[in-house]
Structure formats: C-alpha cells, structure tokens
C-alpha cells in the first residue's frame, strides 16, 4: 500500500507529530570514535570539544559567529539564540519561509535561519547531540557547502556516548507530493540492506547549464561525506539581484555559492564536479531530514527537492503510520 500526502498551500505550520523524548544522560563516556565507519553504530555521538565558525550570512549579509559544543546524550541538536532561547532542531520548529530559500527554525519568538548545511554536517558525521550557540539569527554560510563544518568538527574529534542511538525506520512506503511536481518518497529497507538516496533535479527552464541531473548513492556516513558534502549551493546571478530587493541573498557571492549568468558559471574556479547541483540538493535534503531528530533508515528518493517540500514531507511522514522509532 502506498500512502500519500499532498501539499496544502495554506498550511504554513508543521504540526508537532512526534515530540522527541528529551531525557538528559549523565554518563557520557569519553571514548573517541573514528568518523570513517561505513554505517551507523549504535551509540550516540557528540563532539569531543567545542568549535567556532564565523563568516558572512548568505541572506542577511551580516557577520555571524556560532559555537558548536558537546551536549549530553539524548539532548539532540539544540540552537541557543543570543537571548538564550533554546530551539531544538526538530521538524515541529520549522518556520514557514515564503521564499523557500533556506530552512528556518523558531521558538519563543526567536528564529535561526539557514540551519540546513550544519544539520547535514551533523548527519554525515553521525553527531546526535550538540549545542549551537549563535550571536545572530543566521548561521554563517562559509563556502556554501557543509565541508568546512565537517572538517573542523572531525578535527575536534567525536566521542561515543553510552546511550543508544535511535533510528526512524521506514516500515511502509510513503510519498509526499509537493508543489510544482516536486515529490519526496520513503521506502522500507530489509534488515540486511543499507538505505539509498536517489535525487533528480530538472533546471532545464531556469538554468539550462544545470539541466537534468540525477544521483543515486548509499546512505553511509563515509559516502555522504565523500560524495555530496563538499558541493555548494547555487543560483542565478539575476535571481540574486532580485532576492536582494527584498532582503534575501544579501551576502551571496562567488565565495559562498556557484553563480550562473545564463549558461556561464561566474566562479573563476568553475565547478567542484560536473553534477555539483544535484549533489548539493542531496546535501540539503539530508540536512532537512535530520530535523526528524534521528537518522532515517530507509530508501529516500526525491524529485526537485526544495526546503519547503522537504519539511512538509518529513512532517507528513511523522504523522503517518509508515515508520517506527
Ligand atoms: Zn543548501
């Protein structure tokens, strides 16, 4: 049986479907773990020490600085704003973003923008628990990929914690139909099988140089880091100017995005790989889906994924009976 859900344009919120049980562990070990394992192990992980990231924010254009610190088992990923509001990185906290250019979470009157690349970095490193303290309301964009986040966090080291990691296991097929032909689909895996990620994009109309690209890869920590996390966000130079008219993309440049002018790549060093665009869309999808609170076990496929559709698909999945936790 195929379960489906459809986008409702007026649905601007994401109903809390499954609130993560927050119970703080107190018996974390200090066992350093290798980031190079093939799959997920059973123990939760956090960082061995705090790290700092700073740089420009892609949408506000303001300077940003964040500190990513170790956190207790079972606490999850928590963002802490300048006013000390704690916002769990959870799908129920996603805020509607009219432009759909980034993923925004909010609680207690505060918001945190552009969380997706750091969330992807956590997912690809198998980091379950961390506290992210911000000085502003948006994360730094760094080079437009997740690679700088990953490099510094792996350099700091990861530690295994004593509590077991939980997994959101897909048990029945579930698909979500978004706007403009977009869809995201989740399928179960057998007990002896690894999950796969399949993403297809079609930019033929908007950016012919990107055209149609597709990607199919295993969902393994090492593969996520080697195959997609270095791929940068991208856009049209003309759109960048349009977004700036209403205060978005104010910090965007060739230093933190691949910019296209018609079919021409404006970045003087070109692309990092021929299909960098679909790989970045896969990175975004992994980051957005980590707002489930735990890794997904299943086959994930998507056509023209975008932040809004990703969030709506995840919220709809969590309201379905197509998974176990
Ligand atoms: Zn992105």
For 110-140, the pLDDT digits (tens) are 999 999 999 999 999 999 999 999 998 999 9
pLDDT of 299 strictly over 60:
yes
Q: Kindly give the distance from the C-alpha atom of residue 281 to the centroid of ligand 1, in angstroms, as a whole number.
A: 7
Q: Kindly give the distance from the C-alpha atom of residue 102 to the centroid of ligand 1, in angstroms, as a whole number.
A: 7
Q: Kindly give the distance from the C-alpha atom of residue 26 to the centroid of ligand 1, in angstroms, as a whole number.
A: 35
> Distance (Å, rounded) from C-alpha 40 to C-alpha 223?
12
Tell me, what's the pLDDT at 190? 87
In the chain, pLDDT over 90 holds for what percent of residues? 74
Q: Kindly give the distance from the C-alpha atom of residue 117 to the centroid of ligand 1, in angstroms, as a whole number.
A: 6
Q: Which residues contact 101 (CB under 8 A, 6 or more apart)?
A: 59, 243, 248, 249, 307
The answer to whether residues 106 and 87 touch, using CB atoms and an 8 Å cutoff, is yes
Count of other CB atoms within 10 angstroms of residue 133: 18
In the chain, pLDDT over 70 holds for what percent of residues? 87
Q: Kindly give the distance from the C-alpha atom of residue 24 to the centroid of ligand 1, in angstroms, as a whole number.
A: 31
User: Of 59, 93, 280, 307, which residue is the catalytic one?
Assistant: 307
Q: Which of 277, 52, 23, 37 is nearest to 158 (CA)?
A: 37
pLDDT in tens, 209-218: 999 999 999 9
Q: Kindly give the distance from the C-alpha atom of residue 30 to the centroid of ligand 1, in angstroms, as a whole number.
A: 32
Q: Kindly give the distance from the C-alpha atom of residue 124 to the centroid of ligand 1, in angstroms, as a whole number.
A: 14
- Token match 């198998």: residue? 126
- Token match 């805020």: residue? 95
The answer to whether residues 225 and 150 touch, using CB atoms and an 8 Å cutoff, is yes
**What would the mean pLDDT of 256-268 be, rounded to a whole number?**
93
pLDDT in tens, 162-204: 999 999 999 999 999 999 999 999 999 988 888 999 999 999 9
> Distance (Å, rounded) from C-alpha 102 to C-alpha 142?
15
Tell me, what's the pLDDT at 10? 31
Residues with a beta carbon under 5 angstroms from ion ligand 1: 233, 284
SS3 64: strand
Q: Kindly give the distance from the C-alpha atom of residue 145 to the centroid of ligand 1, in angstroms, as a whole number.
A: 7
Q: Kindly give the distance from the C-alpha atom of residue 257 to the centroid of ligand 1, in angstroms, as a whole number.
A: 9
pLDDT of 224 strictly over 70:
yes
Distance between terminal CA atoms of the chain? 20
Tell me, what's the pLDDT at 305? 96
**What would the mean pLDDT of 70-93 be, rounded to a whole number?**
96
Task: Please name the helix (run of DSSP H) or strand (run of DSSP E) that holds residue 222, with its range, or none.
Answer: helix 221-227
- Tell me the pLDDT band of 287, cut-offs 50, 70 and 90: very high
Tell me, what's the pLDDT at 7? 42
Q: Kindly give the distance from the C-alpha atom of residue 319 to the centroid of ligand 1, in angstroms, as a whole number.
A: 26
pLDDT of 72 strictly over 60:
yes
What is the pLDDT of the chain when averaged over all its residues? 88
Buried-exposed string 220-250: b where 16+ CB fall within 10 A, e elsewhere: bbebbbebbbbbbbbbbbebbeebeeeebbe
Q: Is 304 left (phi over 0), alpha (psi -120 to 50) or beta?
A: left
Phi/psi of residue 197, nearest 5 degrees: -125, 120
Q: Kindly give the distance from the C-alpha atom of residue 233 to the centroid of ligand 1, in angstroms, as a whole number.
A: 5
pLDDT of 26 strictly over 50:
no
User: Which stretch of 40-44, 189-193, 300-304, 311-315 has the lowest confidence by average pLDDT?
Assistant: 40-44
Whether 307 is catalytic: yes
Q: Is 114 left (phi over 0), alpha (psi -120 to 50) or beta?
A: left
Where are the domains positioned within the chain?
A: 27-324
> Distance (Å, rounded) from C-alpha 248 to C-alpha 307?
15
- Tell me the pLDDT band of 3, cut-offs 50, 70 and 90: low
The answer to whether residues 147 and 125 touch, using CB atoms and an 8 Å cutoff, is no
Query: For the domain 27-324, what is the CATH code?
Result: 3.30.1700.10
Q: Kindly give the distance from the C-alpha atom of residue 98 to the centroid of ligand 1, in angstroms, as a whole number.
A: 16
The answer to whether residues 236 and 207 touch, using CB atoms and an 8 Å cutoff, is yes
Measured on CA atoms in the order 134, 47, 26, 286, is the torsion positive or negative?
A: positive
Count of other CB atoms within 10 angstroms of residue 124: 30
The answer to whether residues 302 and 200 touch, using CB atoms and an 8 Å cutoff, is yes
Tell me, what's the pLDDT at 101? 83
> Distance (Å, rounded) from C-alpha 270 to C-alpha 302?
26
- Tell me the pLDDT band of 63, cut-offs 50, 70 and 90: very high
């Amino acid at each position: 049986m195929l379960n489906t859900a459809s986008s409702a344009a007026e649905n601007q919120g994401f109903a809390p479907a499954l609130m993560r049980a927050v119970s703080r562990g107190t018996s974390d070990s200090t066992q350093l773990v290798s980031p190079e394992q093939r799959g997920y192990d059973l123990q939760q992980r956090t960082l061995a020490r705090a790290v700092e990231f700073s740089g420009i924010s892609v949408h506000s254009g303001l300077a940003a600085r964040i500190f990513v610190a170790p956190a207790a088992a079972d606490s999850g990923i928590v963002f802490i704003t300048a006013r000390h509001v704690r916002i769990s990185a959870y799908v129920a906290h996603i805020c509607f973003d009219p432009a759909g250019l980034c993923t925004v979470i909010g609680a207690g009157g505060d918001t945190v923008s552009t969380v997706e690349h750091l969330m992807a970095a956590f997912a690809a490193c198998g980091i379950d628990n961390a506290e992210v303290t911000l000085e502003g309301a948006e994360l730094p964009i760094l080079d437009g990929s997740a690679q700088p986040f990953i490099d510094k966090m792996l350099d700091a080291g990861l530690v295994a914690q004593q509590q077991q990691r939980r997994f959101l296991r897909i048990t029945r097929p579930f698909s979500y139909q978004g706007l403009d032909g977009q869809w995201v689909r989740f399928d179960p895996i057998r007990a002896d099988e690894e999950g796969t990620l399949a993403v297809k994009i079609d930019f033929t109309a908007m950016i012919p140089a990107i055209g149609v690209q597709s990607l199919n890869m295993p969902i393994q920590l090492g593969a996520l880091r080697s195959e997609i996390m270095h791929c940068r966000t991208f856009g049209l130079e003309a759109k960048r100017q349009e977004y700036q008219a209403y205060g978005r993309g104010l910090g965007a440049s060739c230093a933190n995005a691949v910019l296209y002018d018609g079919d021409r790549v404006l970045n003087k060093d070109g692309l990092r790989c021929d299909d960098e665009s679909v790989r970045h869309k896969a990175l975004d999808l992994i980051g957005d889906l980590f707002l489930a609170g735990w890794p997904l076990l299943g086959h994930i496929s998507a056509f023209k994924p975008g932040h809004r559709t990703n969030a709506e698909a995840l919220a709809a999945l969590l309201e379905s009976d197509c998974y176990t936790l």
